[in-house]
């Protein structure tokens, strides 16, 4: 199992992080981790090492933001391949997606240290976390890394699941769509579905992409159309 992060993964993660910031303003802790990942992916270790104390200062300047403190541990763990720090970050993050990222990175760190059984177990945990979040990109990435180590996840059953359109939405995504269609903000949605604002924004980004919409108004209109179709499909026929 390779512990490296390629540049394609970095660019994808950076785009996700920027989307989170645009949607909710709550992506700073994720953003700093992506910057360090990107530096390592491009082979610029010196830059990654310079970023670590900057993230630590940012965490100290925001003592009330626990996820920033977790991010500081996360980036130190990435640079130093310190599994204990990565485990600590995974336990400290409040955002489920950030926890999944740190768990995945901890698994890769174990693989880099030759602890392949422990790495497999941790990557399976990351996979399960991504699956609960409906994060298909994370699931595919972990599945590929496990497969590279000779491990196949035989319980994968979504191969026939459509990638785009209304039917491609996960149960969590549909619940979020319904609440957004009612006019709730990301923060209000988060309180209803017991997820962080950060994670709700992540789901919305995927919903917009899957449905080909660019605004909450368009999303609400599409949700209303599908709601009407569902009512028509279940209504009893008139004699």
Can you give the CATH number for the domain in which 198 is found?
1.10.10.10
Q: Are residues 133 and 170 in the same domain?
A: no
Mean pLDDT of 62-79: 87
39 and 140 housed in the same domain: yes
177 located within any domain: yes
Q: What is the pLDDT of residue 10?
A: 55
- The pTM of this model reads 0.57
Q: Are residues 183 and 85 in the same domain?
A: no
3-state secondary structure 186-239: HHHHHHHHCCCHHHHHHHHHHHHHHHCCCCHHHHHHHHHHHHHHHHHHHCCCCC
193 in a structural domain: yes
Provide the domain limits for residue 179: 166-233
* pLDDT, mean of residues 16-35: 60
How many folded domains does the chain comprise?
2
Q: What is the pLDDT of residue 23?
A: 41
Q: Do residues 178 and 143 share a domain? A: no
31 against 67, higher pLDDT = 67
Beta-carbon count within 10 A of 86 CB: 28
Looking at the domain assignment, is residue 120 inside a domain? yes
Exposure string for 16-48, b = 16+ CB within 10 A, e = fewer: bbebbbebbebbbbbbbbbbbbbbbbeeeeeeb
Average pLDDT, stretch 91-120? 88
Give the model's pLDDT for residue 156: 42
Distance (Å, rounded) from C-alpha 172 to C-alpha 166? 13
Of 122, 148, 174, the one marking the end of a domain is: 148
The answer to the question of residue 158 being in a domain is no
pLDDT at position 146: 86
Does residue 154 lie within any of the structural domains?
no
Q: How confident is the model at residue 47 (pLDDT cuts 50, 70, 90)?
A: confident
Look at residue 26 and tell me if it is in a domain: yes
Q: Are residues 94 and 203 in the same domain?
A: no
Domain boundary among 148, 182, 199: 148
Cα distances (angstroms) measured from residue 25 to each of 31, 48, 206:
11, 24, 17
Query: Is 159 a member of any domain?
Result: no
The C-alpha angle with vertex 200 and arms to 128 and 27, in degrees rounded to 5, equals 95
Mean pLDDT of the chain: 78
The CATH number of whichever domain residue 82 belongs to comes to: 1.25.40
Instruction: Please indicate whether residue 78 or residue 165 has the higher confidence score (pLDDT).
Output: 78
Cα dist. 38→89, 112, 129, 156 in Å? Answer: 19, 18, 23, 29
Are 199 and 101 contacting, i.e. CB atoms less than 8 angstroms apart?
Answer: no
Longest dimension (CA), the chain: 76
Indicate the residue among 90, 120, 148 that finishes a domain: 148
Q: Has residue 196 been placed in a domain?
A: yes
Q: Is the pLDDT of residue 112 over 70?
A: yes
> Where does the pLDDT of residue 6 fall: very low under 50, low under 70, confident under 90, or very high at 90 and above?
low
96 phi and psi angles, rounded to 5 deg: -60, -40
pLDDT value of residue 177: 92
Residues 77 and 173 in one domain: no
Provide, rounded to the nearest whole percent, the portion of the chain with pLDDT above 70: 77
Looking at the structure, tell me whether residues 19 and 134 fall in a common domain: yes
């Amino acid at each position: 199992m390779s512990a490296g992060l390629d540049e394609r993964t970095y660019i994808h993660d950076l785009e996700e992080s920027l989307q989170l910031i645009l949607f909710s303003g709550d992506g700073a802790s994720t953003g700093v981790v992506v910057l360090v990942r990107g530096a390592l992916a491009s082979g610029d270790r010196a830059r990654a090492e310079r970023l670590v104390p900057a993230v630590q200062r940012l965490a100290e300047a925001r003592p009330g933001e626990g996820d920033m403190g977790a991010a500081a541990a996360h980036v130190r763990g990435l640079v130093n391949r310190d599994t204990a720090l990565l485990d600590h970050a995974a336990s400290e993050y409040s955002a489920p997606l950030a926890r999944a990222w740190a768990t995945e990175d901890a698994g890769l760190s174990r693989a880099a240290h030759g602890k392949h059984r422990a790495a497999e177990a941790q990557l399976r945990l990351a996979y399960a976390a991504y699956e609960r979040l409906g994060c298909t990109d994370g699931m595919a990435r972990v599945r590929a890394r496990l497969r590279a180590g000779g491990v196949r996840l035989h319980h994968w059953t979504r191969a026939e699941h459509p990638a785009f359109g209304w039917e491609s939405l996960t149960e969590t995504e549909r619940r979020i769509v319904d609440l957004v269609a009612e006019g709730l903000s990301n923060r209000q949605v988060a309180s209803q579905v017991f997820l962080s604002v950060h994670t709700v924004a992540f789901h919305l980004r995927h919903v917009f992409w899957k449905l080909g919409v660019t605004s909450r108004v368009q999303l609400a209109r599409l949700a209303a159309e599908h709601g009407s179709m569902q009512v028509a499909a279940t209504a009893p026929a008139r004699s």
